[in-house]
Structure 1
């Protein structure tokens, strides 16, 4: 199970839609929280269908901005509790996992209205008995080191956000990978980097999922970078099995060389010993050569996704330059 969150600034471009499909294909999340959809329910429904999800709850955009959506893989695993233009609160009941409360949160962009979000968190906290996780674009930082470039972040906003976390006994999860989730003015003297997207969890949630990991997915077609929450990242070892000889190895010159070298090295050994030694060395090479295909394919797909995003950005910048001229 994993949960993905992304402020993707709408479905206005085909590469944003394709990038989202690629993220789902690579990370296979059970739940996705989308912020600033800039869309109505019917358009988000097309996204749900395209990625093969069954469940969806959408809060339509207001005018030209906003809009949030929660999508989940299997329709019977999520139960809606409450919602507003800034949040979707659900109970998650996945088979084999501890039941917990999940709140997808979109922090108020208007700083003058930020207190309303803090009061919303307090209100939700007073109602929640289950282990609790808040995930999304908080539109706030917890310390000055969460921001680089531009003016200092207002201290009253930092203190207000910190007070909410203290009152509600919420922990800010460590973000693995790139430290920032929002960028503006990339490559210029006005380049600003901020960590706005995060996961906040209750003590009971962190005790249920002690090995949980929050990762920055590094690339994006938006100015926000997607984040991925994996409640349990323990790898379960596969059972051992005998390696079978693959006919494809016969086409590899290295395989022939390994057999020849192994056989000649055991010149005075018995036939059985030669076979055993040769098999061990070919098996070790073969395991490295053809093993972990899924992992290798996954790495290549991720690299391809990064290249696609970089190419999209380059094209977008070129278009902007042409428009200015």
Structure 2
């Protein structure tokens, strides 16, 4: 007897029974021939911080229109792939951008002329927006981790509490 995950790994395995002259039980011999594992893409998860990206709505609209006439599942898959491509580097680039704007604010802090003050305010606004976006990303990520490791008397739970 096997289950789906076993068959996924050992799809080409075979078994046969051997003769046992002194018993009414037959021993089994199993020849496992593991199949080549194909790396599948991780399950798509929408990140809330993408909502603030100007191109998010455009990507969804464009891909929804392009997939018109296809079944709903395929349309969702097409949109999710396009969003995944947008987001795969977006979250990785947040921290360097935050650091850039912090350095820019530090550089402009000593200036007292109108142009310097306006540039400082712009840098501060950009930095705050990125920090909020980064916070939204980690807030959602923390919920995912909590649900995975949650309150099931696990090491994760006791360390969190």
TM-score when scaled to structure 1?
A: 0.20
Q: Which has the larger radius of gyration?
A: 2
Higher strand share: 1
